[in-house]
């Protein structure tokens, strides 16, 4: 975990990890190798930077089933998820 | 002479007594499996005793896994997310055969004669069909599109006459693959049926195939008793004038199409069910529900439908009366209710509560909890009686 996030008490890593694996996983696969949605593996996400991923997580991708998670996640939480995905830490 | 005769009787007596004494003879009609999605395993359960009688692991990525059963209800075919197709012996609690048939898949079906198992694939798309005995591939039906692309397939079901129906998610088509002839499948393509069909199912009488659309408000209906086959739109623009909500879990059409006089169809992106007359497919009303419905499963022999919901409202179950179109019971079953399966004649319902690591068994009439089983991150529950039903 990065030093910035380590001091952030509003992040609950266990809850977010479970949510990414189980609930994002219902479209992206439990191991994040894809399903109806694209793979969220480290290799697949290389072409996007962190802020792009945060934007996709919070606002979704119009015209696709990817929903905006803003009603459920804070920006901090979305950034934490984007960082972890970029590192392959949730696979 | 009499000595020989006596010896013979003793031998015959022993031969019969041995398996009985070992208490190994039993039927499979009360068995079922529960998917442990995180563990890559299935628990084998007995629905009469509310007990776990076996466990089989090593099944790979079982997120969104489903299963069908052989006609004798001894073997389960489990479809994993990672393309794994596994044949399990329910009596011996062991893997009979296992193949990795694709990179990413989404469920399957078994033909009416029990001889073919078909799997719906995301990667590389299309459908592959296997011999149910050996799991050797019999046919590969790519879902090829213009420009060399392929389509993910969804909503794969069996139809009477060694046929399968499924929808092409990326192409907006419905295909019927007919394996009744020995010289390979005949494919009927219904094109331009609508944007992003996300799932499909067939009514228990084998007559109507329905595919839900994600990309537009509507449902596609194919009357399989008509020739030539055509796809027509029903419930067109059901959410007109209303802003749809974000969809955090795709609805599943399993169970939706089972209604005897009224079908309950999910309004994608809305907290409601659309009640549809199952003869003319016209809307007869709406039911406001607790959240966005995922499964709506009719209790056999009743006019009640049990409904679970998408994240984050997935701790609750609504029981809806299909005559009055009202929610008659609402309760919290626990964190992340993923699936519900009724016993064959509907006296009980088994409910997967993923984040509680529990499967709860309810009396379907009184709603009282009758038993709890410890199962790690349970998802799909499948009872062997599915072997006797079209489309399951």
Number of domains in chain A: 1
**Per-residue pLDDT for B312 more than 50?**
yes
Largest Cα–Cα distance in chain B?
Answer: 94
The answer to whether the CB of A38 falls within 8 A of the CB of A44 is yes
Question: Both tokens of residue A48?
Answer: 């996007």
Nearest alpha-carbon partner for B59 in B27, B33, B30, B32 = B33
Segments forming the whole domain that contains residue A32: 3-87
Mean pLDDT of B278-303: 94
What average pLDDT does range B91-98 have in this prediction?
A: 97
B64 has a chain A CB within 8 A of its CB: yes
Count CB atoms within 10 A of the CB of residue B318: 22
Contact yes or no for B152/B121 (Cβ under 8 A): yes
A29/B37 Cβ within 8 A: no
How high is the ipTM of this complex?
0.84
d(CA B38, CA B379): 9
What backbone phi and psi angles, to 5 degrees, belong to B54?
A: -175, 170
Contact B37 A69 (CB under 8 A): no
Between CA B127 and CA B142 the distance in angstroms is 6
Q: d(Cα B43, Cα B80) in Å, to the nearest integer?
A: 15
Task: Assess B310–A contact: CB distance below 8 Å, yes or no.
Answer: no
For B347, the token pair is 């006296």
What's the DSSP call for residue B256?
A: G
The residue among B195, B116, B79 whose CA lies nearest residue A63 is B195
| Interchain proximity B104–A34, CB inside 8 Å | yes
Interface contact flag, B104 A27, Cβ < 8 Å: no
Task: Give the chain B residue nearest A63 (alpha carbons).
Answer: B215
CA–CA distance, B313 with B104 (Å, rounded to integer): 28
How far away is chain A from the Cα of B289, in angstroms, using its nearest Cα? 19
CA distance B63 to chain A (A): 5
The verdict on A27 touching B (C-beta cutoff 8 Å) is: yes
Query: Is beta strand B348-353 parallel, antiparallel or unpaired with respect to B358-363?
Result: antiparallel
B38 touches chain A (CB under 8 A): yes
Q: Pick from B238, B50, B255: which is nearest to B157 by CA?
A: B255
CA-based nearest residue to B93, from B56, B128, B123 = B56
Give dist(CA B240, CA B127) in Å, integer.
34
Residue B202 token pair: 């067939």
Lowest mean pLDDT among B45-59, B243-257, B322-336: B243-257
| Contact B299/A at CB under 8 A | no
CA dihedral B101, B106, B107, B111 (to 10 degrees): -70
Helix (H, G, I), strand (E, B) or coil at B115: coil
Contact B353, B334 (CB under 8 A): yes
pLDDT level of residue B9 (50, 70, 90 thresholds): very low
Question: What percentage of chain B reaches a pLDDT higher than 70?
Answer: 93
Decide if A26 and B82 are in contact by the 8 Å CB cutoff: no
- Return d(Cα B172, Cα B176) in angstroms, integer: 14
Q: What is the pLDDT of residues A34-70, one digit of tens each?
A: 999 999 999 999 999 999 999 999 999 998 999 999 9
pLDDT at B19: 39
Summarised one tens digit per residue, pLDDT across range B176-233 is 999 999 888 999 999 999 999 999 999 999 999 999 999 888 999 999 999 999 999 9
Distances, alpha carbon B110 to alpha carbons A46, B114, B224, B239, B293, in Å: 40, 6, 18, 35, 27
Whether A13 has its CB under 8 Å from any CB of chain B: the answer is no
Contact B246/A at CB under 8 A? yes
pLDDT of res. B136: 98
CB B353 within 8 A of CB B378: yes
Are residues B246 and A68, on separate chains, in Cβ contact within 8 Å?
A: yes
Which chain A residue has the Cα nearest residue B216? Answer: A63
Q: Average pLDDT in the B15-32 region?
A: 69
Q: Which residue of A has its CA nearest to B378?
A: A22
- Mention every residue, 6+ apart, whose C-beta is less than 8 A from residue B374: B357, B358
Enumerate the residues of chain A whose CB falls inside 8 A of the CB of residue B104.
29, 33-35
Reported as a single tens digit per residue, the pLDDT across B232-275 is 999 988 877 778 899 999 888 887 756 668 899 888 999 999 99
Six-digit token string for A57: 């997580």
Q: Sheet containing B84-89: give its strands across.
A: B66-69, B75-79, B84-89, B94-100
Does pLDDT of B96 surpass 90?
Answer: yes
- The vertex-B206 CA angle with B202 and B212, nearest 5°, equals 15
CATH code where residue A80 lies: 1.10.760.10
Sign of CA dihedral B297, B298, B299, B300: negative
Interface contact A33, partner B, CB < 8 A: yes
Is A71 in CB contact (< 8 Å) with chain B?
A: yes
Q: Give the whole-angstrom CA distance, residue B349 versus residue B4.
A: 57
pLDDT in tens, B113-163: 999 999 999 999 999 999 999 999 999 999 998 888 999 999 999 999 999
Per-residue pLDDT averaged across B103-115, rounded?
Answer: 96
pLDDT over threshold 60, residue A1: no
Radius of gyration for chain B, computed over Cα atoms and rounded to the nearest angstrom: 22
Contact of B178 with B188, CB cutoff 8 Å: yes
């Amino acid at each position: 975990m990065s030093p910035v996030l380590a001091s952030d008490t509003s992040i609950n890593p266990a809850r977010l990890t479970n949510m990414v694996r189980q609930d994002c996983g219902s479209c992206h696969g439990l191991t994040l190798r894809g399903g109806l949605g694209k793979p969220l593996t480290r290799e697949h996400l290389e072409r996007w930077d962190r802020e792009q991923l945060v934007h996709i997580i919070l606002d979704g991708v119009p015209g696709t089933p990817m929903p905006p998670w803003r009603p459920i996640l804070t920006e901090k939480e979305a950034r934490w998820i984007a960082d972890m995905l970029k590192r392959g830490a949730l696979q | 002479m009499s000595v020989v005769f006596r010896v013979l009787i003793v031998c015959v007596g022993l031969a019969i007594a041995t398996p009985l004494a070992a208490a190994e003879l039993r039927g499979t009609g009360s068995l079922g499996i529960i998917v442990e999605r995180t563990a890559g395993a299935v628990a084998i359960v007995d629905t009469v005793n509310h007990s776990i009688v076996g466990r089989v692991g090593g099944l790979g990525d079982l997120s969104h896994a489903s299963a069908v059963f052989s006609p004798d209800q001894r073997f389960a075919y489990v479809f994993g997310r990672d393309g794994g197709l596994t044949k399990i012996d329910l009596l011996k609690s062991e893997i009979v055969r296992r193949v990795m048939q694709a990179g990413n898949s989404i469920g399957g079906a078994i033909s009416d004669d029990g001889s073919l198992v078909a799997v719906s694939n995301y990667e590389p798309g299309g459908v592959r069909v296997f011999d149910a005995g050996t799991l050797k591939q019999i046919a590969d039906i790519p879902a090829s599109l213009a420009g060399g692309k392929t389509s993910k397939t969804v909503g794969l079901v069996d139809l009477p006459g060694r046929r399968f129906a499924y929808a092409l998610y990326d192409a907006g088509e419905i295909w019927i693959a007919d394996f009744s002839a020995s010289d390979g499948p005949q494919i009927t393509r219904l094109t331009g049926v609508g944007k992003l069909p996300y799932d499909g199912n067939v009514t228990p009488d084998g007559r109507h195939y329905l595919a839900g659309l994600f990309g537009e408000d509507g449902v596609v209906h194919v009357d399989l008793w008509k020739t030539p086959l055509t796809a027509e739109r029903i419930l067109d623009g059901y959410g007109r004038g209303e802003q749809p909500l974000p969809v955090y879990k795709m609805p599943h059409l399993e169970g939706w199409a089972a209604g005897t006089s009224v079908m309950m169809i999910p309004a994608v992106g809305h907290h409601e069910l659309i009640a549809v007359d199952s003869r003319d497919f016209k809307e007869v009303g709406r039911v406001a529900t607790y959240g966005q419905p995922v499964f709506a499963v009719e209790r056999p022999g009743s006019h009640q439908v049990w409904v679970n919901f998408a994240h984050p409202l997935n701790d609750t179950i609504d029981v809806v009366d299909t005559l009055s179109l009202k929610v008659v019971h609402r309760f919290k079953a626990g964190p992340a209710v993923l699936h519900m399966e009724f016993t064959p004649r509907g006296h009980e319902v088994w409910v997967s509560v993923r984040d509680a690591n529990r499967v709860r068994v309810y009396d379907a009439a009184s709603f009282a909890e009758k038993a709890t089983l410890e199962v790690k991150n349970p998802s799909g529950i499948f009872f062997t009686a599915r072997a006797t039903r079209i489309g399951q």
